[in-house]
Amino acid sequence: MASRLSDGVYVRDTVQITPKLMVVGPFGVGKTTLIGAVSEIEPLRTEELMTQNGAATDDLSGVPDKRSTTVALDFGRLTLADDLVLYLFGTPGQQRFTHIWEDLSRGAYGALVLADSRYLDQSFEALSLVEKSALPYIVALNAFPDTPDYPEAELREALDLDPGTPLVTCDARDRQSAKTALVTLVKHLYAGHQESS
């Protein structure tokens, strides 16, 4: 059994809570990277190479080395405690895939909205999708090397965040940092659940 656990085939038999969580955000913000960094199973990826045909719509200014894009979903799994396993679903970031969101997010419990503070306006669409679907969420700013250090109050105002919505910074490539952002989301969901029960 131990070896199957490490294969990622089984979860521990103490697991009781398995929320489906969405990782959303604009094109190239780091959703696939974050799920790959934290997943304890081989993450499912649906990456396709980007071609010259997409040059007009795929804005690579923040991620000049990016070569592929998610066309359906990312999927990963993270055990946070003996009784708690997260199932992570990443969405495609390109606007032409927005219709996939409704199907993918069915049954989700909450969302991590990844944002890039160099291009905050690009996050508005993802924020409005989670708000429309009434999913509780937090915002995690994925820090890139040239990300300016804006005061939190300015970032909150620019994103029009409710005072109760957590705003954190993470490095989507770093397992511990990405995990900390997910823990913040889970605590936020738990606090909301406590309030409503």
Ligand X SMILES: Nc1nc2c(ncn2[C@@H]2O[C@H](COP(=O)(O)OP(=O)(O)OP(=O)(O)O)[C@@H](O)[C@H]2O)c(=O)[nH]1
Rounded to an integer, what distance in angstroms lies between the CA atom of residue 4 and that of residue 105? 29
**Nearest distance from residue 7's CB to ligand X, in Å?**
25
CA 183 to chain centre: 12
Q: Rule CB under 6 A: say whether 69 interacts with ligand X.
A: yes
Q: Which of residues 114-153 bind ligand X (CB under 6 A)?
A: 142-145
Q: Which does 111 bind (CB under 5 to 8 A by kind): Mg ion, ligand X, none?
A: none
Question: DSSP class of residue 43?
Answer: P
21 binds, among ligand X, Mg ion, none (CB under 5 to 8 A by kind): none
Between 145 and 163, CB nearer to ligand X: 145
The footprint of ligand X on residues 152-191 (CB under 6 A) is 171-173
Q: Which listed residue (21, 23, 30, 32) binds Mg ion by CB under 5 A?
A: 32
18 CB-contact burial (10 Å; exposed 0-12 / middle 13-18 / buried 19+): middle
β-bridge partners, 167: 139
Range in contact with ligand X (rule: CB under 6 A) among 1-9, 58-66, 102-110, 181-189: 58-66
Is 43 a binding residue for ligand X by CB under 6 A? The answer is no
- Distance of alpha carbon 104 from alpha carbon 89, whole angstroms: 8
Q: Do residues 149 and 103 lie in contact, with contact meaning Cβ atoms separated by under 8 Å? A: no
Helix (H) or strand (E) holding 170: strand 167-170
The DSSP call for residue 17 is B
Q: Which of residues 100-119 bind ligand X (CB under 6 A)?
A: none
DSSP string, 63-113: -TT--EEESS-EEEEEEEETTEEEEEEEPP-SGGGHHHHHHHTTT--EEEE
> Residue 174 Cβ, how far from ligand X at the closest point, in Å?
8
Stretch that binds ligand X, among 10-18, 23-31, 128-136, 156-164 (CB under 6 A): 23-31
Q: Using the rule CB under 6 A, is 64 a contact of ligand X? A: no
The answer to whether residue 65 forms part of the interface with ligand X (CB under 6 A) is yes
CB closer to Mg ion out of 30 and 161: 30
Which residue ranges make up the site for ligand X (CB under 6 A)?
Answer: 25, 27-33, 63, 65-66, 69-70, 92-93, 142-145, 171-173
